Amino acid sequence: MAIQILPAELANQIAAGEVVERPASIIKELIENSIDAGANQIDIDIEQGGCKLIRVRDNGSGIAKEELALALARHATSKISCLDDLEAIMSLGFRGEALASISSVSRLTLISKPESQTDAWLVYAEGRDMLPVIKPTAHPKGTTIEVLDIFYNTPARRRFLKTEKTEFSHIDEVVRRIALAYPNVIFNLQHNGKFVKQYRVTQSPDQIEKRVATICGTTFMQKAIKLSWQHDDLCINGWIATNIGQEPLQYFYVNGRVVKDRLLNHALKQAFQETNKSLLTSTDHTLSYIIYLQLDPHQVDVNVHPAKHEVRFHEARLVHDFVYQAMVMALKQEKQRTLEPTA
Ligand code: ADP
Ligand code: MG
């Protein structure tokens, strides 16, 4: 066969293979977009575990009518424009691929209204050439994205979808993860027309503690040791606990993005082993943590994986030692506190 450039729809479907594994991965991308748009309320409605319908509505900045079609195009983003931007990412998105990928494997409709625009507009992509159709509609300031019939046109992928219950539990987990990092954003999750999760916002200064307690349970909060330290450009906050009487919770955020990282786990275990062996069981599978690390975005590469759940630290050793030190200090303080006679 001669070399040819693939049609847009096929190229998008190939790209979708990397980011759209299941309904939960679509929800992750859509919520991240809402957060990048500065929304402080995000409503998520799903039907049949998200396989039939996913609707994410936000009150963020919206998309102008003339940019609606572009938002669905591949490699189209408002978040970076040059290599320098790529090396210092502060937004959750930057690849300009999510909407193009999602719309290539579902029936996607995007409705949006920026504050400055009097009317709302709707766009959907149709047919093999993915030609976008634009129509006027009604919508308050913000954006709603509706995704119907995931994988309707890619039966091989559809077969990998699990039961409604399993798909829902993945979605639930995605929402929890993001809600933990954005305590000032309201999240409402509805499944088959019923509210199943509502993460509210109170005006109290301990909103983050409230959010963590709601999501991780009061046992975790009661048992947890607080971590809070800053050195140069590095800042760490969070909670660590062992044996919380349920599955361990392990959440690590780098500049507001949840990531998987071995380095952190290693640093925490090492600190525990050296400071307070008695708190750690021999298997140490019981370590639970919610840790927020902030650092200069130039110091971390987030462009490692299409789903963006891995990062690379430029100075991995430095970050490791910083986390270790912060943890050792927190454990020592905790030891002292528990040894002090209560008045
Ligand atoms: P990325 O997030 O990597 O830029 P996406 O495909 O997810 O790529 O989105 C493409 C563009 O569409 C974004 O850069 C943004 O400008 C716009 N967009 C998507 N979702 C929203 C939203 N909920 N509110 C405002 N703008 C959005
Ligand atoms: Mg995005």
Task: Compute, in angstroms, the gap from residue 128 CA to the centroid of ligand 1.
Answer: 22
Together in a domain, 194 and 222: no
Task: Tell me the one-letter amino acid at 38.
Answer: G
Residues with CB under 6 A from ligand 1: 29, 33-34, 37, 58, 60-63, 71, 76-79, 93-100, 143
State how far the Cα of 276 lies from the Cα of 83, in Å rounded to an integer.
45
The reply to whether 3 falls in a domain is no
Answer whether 239's CB lies under 8 Å from 289's CB.
Answer: yes
State how far the Cα of 40 lies from the Cα of 84, in Å rounded to an integer.
29
| Domain closes at, from 199, 229, 255 | 199
Together in a domain, 55 and 110: yes
Within 10 Å of residue 231's Cβ, how many Cβ atoms? 12
The reply to whether 206 falls in a domain is no
Question: What is the pLDDT averaged over residues 170-189?
Answer: 98
Q: Which two tokens stand for residue 56?
A: 């994410």
| Domain closes at, from 170, 199, 228 | 199
Residues in a beta bridge with 251? 290
Together in a domain, 28 and 171: yes
Which atom number of ligand 1 is nearest to the Cα of residue 76? 10
Rounded to the nearest 10 degrees, what angle do helices 262-275 and 316-339 cross at?
40
Answer whether residue 164 shows pLDDT above 50: yes
Residue 315 structural domain: 217-337
Task: Compute, in angstroms, the gap from residue 287 CA to the centroid of ligand 1.
Answer: 36
State how far the Cα of 226 lies from the Cα of 240, in Å rounded to an integer.
7
| Domain closes at, from 172, 199, 226 | 199
Task: Tell me the one-letter amino acid at 142.
Answer: G
Geometric angle at alpha carbon 314, from 310 and 316, rounded to 5°: 80
Answer whether residue 280 shows pLDDT above 60: no
State how far the Cα of 268 lies from the Cα of 342, in Å rounded to an integer.
29
Task: Give the CATH number, domain containing residue 275.
Answer: 3.30.230.10
Q: Where are the alpha helices (DSSP H) in 224-311?
A: 262-275
Task: Compute, in angstroms, the gap from residue 56 CA to the centroid of ligand 2.
Answer: 13
Answer whether residue 62 shows pLDDT above 50: yes
Burial of 317 (0-12, 13-18, 19+ CB in 10 A): exposed
Within 10 Å of residue 296's Cβ, how many Cβ atoms? 12
State how far the Cα of 70 lies from the Cα of 148, in Å rounded to an integer.
20
The reply to whether 2 falls in a domain is no
The reply to whether 230 falls in a domain is yes
- The proportion of the chain whose per-residue pLDDT surpasses 90, expressed as a percent, equals 74
Together in a domain, 39 and 150: yes
The reply to whether 49 falls in a domain is yes
> What is the SS3 assignment for 285?
coil
Which atom number of ligand 1 is nearest to the Cα of residue 91? 2
Task: Compute, in angstroms, the gap from residue 200 CA to the centroid of ligand 1.
Answer: 25
Together in a domain, 227 and 176: no
Is the ipTM here above 0.90?
yes
Together in a domain, 158 and 261: no
Task: Compute, in angstroms, the gap from residue 29 CA to the centroid of ligand 1.
Answer: 9
* Among the bound ligands, the one closest to the CA of 16: 1
The reply to whether 212 falls in a domain is no
Domain count, the chain: 2
Together in a domain, 262 and 297: yes
Together in a domain, 87 and 170: yes
Question: What is the pLDDT averaged over residues 279-292?
Answer: 71
Q: Which residues surround ligand 2, an ion (CB under 5 A)?
A: 33, 93, 98
The reply to whether 224 falls in a domain is yes
Task: Give the CATH number, domain containing residue 27.
Answer: 3.30.565.10
State how far the Cα of 323 lies from the Cα of 294, in Å rounded to an integer.
11
Q: What is the pLDDT of residue 30?
A: 98
pLDDT digits (tens, 9 = 90+) for 94-143: 999 999 999 999 999 999 999 999 999 999 987 666 788 999 999 999 99
Together in a domain, 333 and 255: yes
Answer whether residue 282 shows pLDDT above 50: no
Which atom number of ligand 1 is nearest to the Cα of residue 60? 24
Which atom number of ligand 1 is nearest to the Cα of residue 101? 6
Together in a domain, 58 and 173: yes
Q: State which of 34, 70, 77 you would mutate to test the pocket of ligand 1, scoring each by most atoms of that ligand within 8 A of its C-beta.
A: 77
Residues 6+ apart with CB under 8 A from 62: 37, 112, 113, 114, 115, 117, 141, 142, 143
The reply to whether 211 falls in a domain is no
The model carries a pTM of 0.94
Together in a domain, 13 and 48: yes
Together in a domain, 36 and 114: yes
Q: Which helix (H) or strand (E) holds 227?
A: strand 225-231
State how far the Cα of 123 lies from the Cα of 141, in Å rounded to an integer.
16
Which atom number of ligand 1 is nearest to the Cα of residue 77? 14
The residue among 298, 309, 290, 180 whose CA lies nearest residue 233 is 298
